[in-house]
Amino acid sequence: MIDINLIRDPQTREKVIESEKRRFKDTSKISEIYEKDKLRIKLNFELDNINRKKNELNKKISKVFKENKTNGKELSQEYVRELKEEENKSKDLEIELVKTEKEINTLLKSVGNIIDDSVIISKNEEDNGLIREYRTKREVKNYKNYTDLMSKYTHSVSGSKIIGHRGYFLSGQIARLGMALSQYAIDFLEENDYTFIQTPVMMRKEVMSRTAQLSDFDEQLYKVEDDLYLIATSEQPLSALHMDERLTDSDLPKKYCGQSLCFRKEAGAHGKDNSGIFRVHQFEKIEQFVICKPEESKEYFDKMISLSEEFYKSLDISYNVVSIVSGEFNDAASIKYDLEAFFPNANKFRELVSCSNCTDYQSRELEVRYGILKENNKKVYVHMLNATLCAVQRTLCCIVENYQEENKIIVPEVLRKYTKFDEIELN
């Protein structure tokens, strides 16, 4: 969530309102948060006064009994009556304060991160800005789409019978190609000083709610028993790995190569990519996740998207890097670049990588702190960034289309030491 001090200060409050407008969101909640925050301050002030009065009354009662005055009984009863009145007031105020704080937190969670000044203001993805491009020099042939090319190995009919819509198996050489892709992605990040980490695939709701936005619970996340949710990305558990910790200069940066199965309902994706394994409910993903000092996050954002580019260059697949428009962000991102790879059959570039700088939006909610500003004693939070390196099933779709020959798929050269074969037979 954002820092409430940004809403308290008139100048920065305007910045928050402007950022929400750039996201094409309702800005009335900013005023609502401001008014509720003023009420919270007032309630805290009243509670402090009541607590002081209660302390004074307790001292008076104690003094009466110590001095053993002749009228001590009457005095003490009067003080006790006053004390009970103040305690009742205190309870009522505490109930109102808890309610107000809960309302503020709910509203704060619905306010997005401050949009970076470089972001294109639009809610139409066709306005995404081209940052860079790469084109292979290989001859890319076009016989079939990825669904037809992999049908022998994906068993979509059987998969749908077993788990329903978007179900699949992976078998034989395509399964081994997927394993090769995963291992290569892990090795690639480890060679770039990332720490390999396999994450849990379930999270408690209380923790998940501190890293996923509320709309995800309906559109993306699967609930299992005992208030647990399946993760939609390893970013979620990785962001919570250092929850409630304070990290120092010597701890940072933390560069994680997260590997996990991911589970998504895809409730908002009806009619999109219904065939094949491009958009499925269960998939494997290798993720970059970086925790760094606040002043370093812009630099790491550039480094992370560049690493993803290096990875797809090594696979020799044509791609565009695009800056995503403001209306297409989730709440946590302040800036987002996608890498869109070329699919020859559709003659389209499609998203394989998303890279986001979430600044301190996630760390504030998760209480992952970085030192203290001594001059005003305010907490400082680390910055968190995430970037896909390889969503295995999607990347498989891209590879088979880009490396198809008649009746076979050529294995990209960098993957051959993992697969132990150079081509995949389609007959």
Mean model confidence pLDDT for the chain: 91
In this structure, what token pair is assigned to residue 194? 């990332």
Same domain, 226 and 367: yes
Max intra-chain CA distance, the chain = 109
Q: Which residue has the tokens 């396999």?
A: 198
**Cα–Cα separations (whole angstroms), residue 181 to 163, 235, 289:** 25, 20, 19
Q: Is 266 annotated as a binding residue?
A: yes
| pLDDT beneath 70: ranges in the chain | 65-76, 214, 267-274, 372-377
Q: Is 252 annotated as a binding residue?
A: no
Domain limits at 389? 125-425
Please enumerate in sequence order all residues whose Cβ is within 8 A of that of 365, keeping only pairs 6 or more positions apart, or say none.
1, 109, 210, 211
Q: Is 352 annotated as a binding residue?
A: yes
Q: Which of 76, 109, 142 is the last residue of a domain?
A: 109
Q: Is 283 annotated as a binding residue?
A: yes
Residue 262 within a domain: yes
- What angle (nearest 5°) sits at the alpha carbon of residue 274, between those of residues 392 and 223? 70
Residues facing 254 on adjacent strands: 291
Look at residues 146, 166, 153 and name the one whose alpha carbon lies nearest to residue 263: 166
Query: Which runs of E-coded beta strand occur in 333-377?
Result: 335-343, 348-357, 369-373
Same domain, 179 and 68: no
Digit-coded pLDDT (tens) for 45-90: 998 888 888 777 777 777 776 666 545 556 667 777 777 887 888 8
Q: Is 233 annotated as a binding residue?
A: yes
Total domains in the chain come to: 2
pLDDT at 82: 76
Same domain, 60 and 146: no
Same domain, 380 and 239: yes
pLDDT at 375: 54
Chain centroid to Cα 361, Å, comes to 9
pLDDT at 373: 60
Q: Is 325 annotated as a binding residue?
A: no
Q: Is 353 annotated as a binding residue?
A: yes
**Cα–Cα separations (whole angstroms), residue 415 to 355, 395, 396:** 24, 13, 12
Q: pTM, whole model, 2 decimals? A: 0.90
Same domain, 31 and 88: yes
Q: Which of 82, 109, 136 is the last residue of a domain?
A: 109
Classify residue 139 as exposed, middle or buried by CB count within 10 Å of its CB (0-12, 13-18, 19+): exposed
Same domain, 258 and 199: yes
Same domain, 163 and 20: no
Residue 116 within a domain: no
Residue 96 within a domain: yes
Q: Is 287 annotated as a binding residue?
A: yes
Same domain, 59 and 135: no
Same domain, 81 and 129: no
Residue 30 within a domain: yes
Residue 327 within a domain: yes
Q: Is 155 annotated as a binding residue?
A: no
In this structure, what token pair is assigned to residue 193? 């000083």
Same domain, 222 and 161: yes
Residue 115 within a domain: no
Same domain, 158 and 282: yes
Same domain, 363 and 273: yes
Q: Please, are residues 20 and 111 in contact by the beta-carbon 8 Å criterion?
A: yes
Digit-coded pLDDT (tens) for 384-402: 999 999 999 999 999 999 9
Q: Is 281 annotated as a binding residue?
A: yes
Q: Please, are residues 258 and 234 in contact by the beta-carbon 8 Å criterion?
A: yes
Domain CATH for 66: 1.10.287.40
Q: Please, are residues 153 and 175 in contact by the beta-carbon 8 Å criterion?
A: yes
Residues facing 373 on adjacent strands: 378
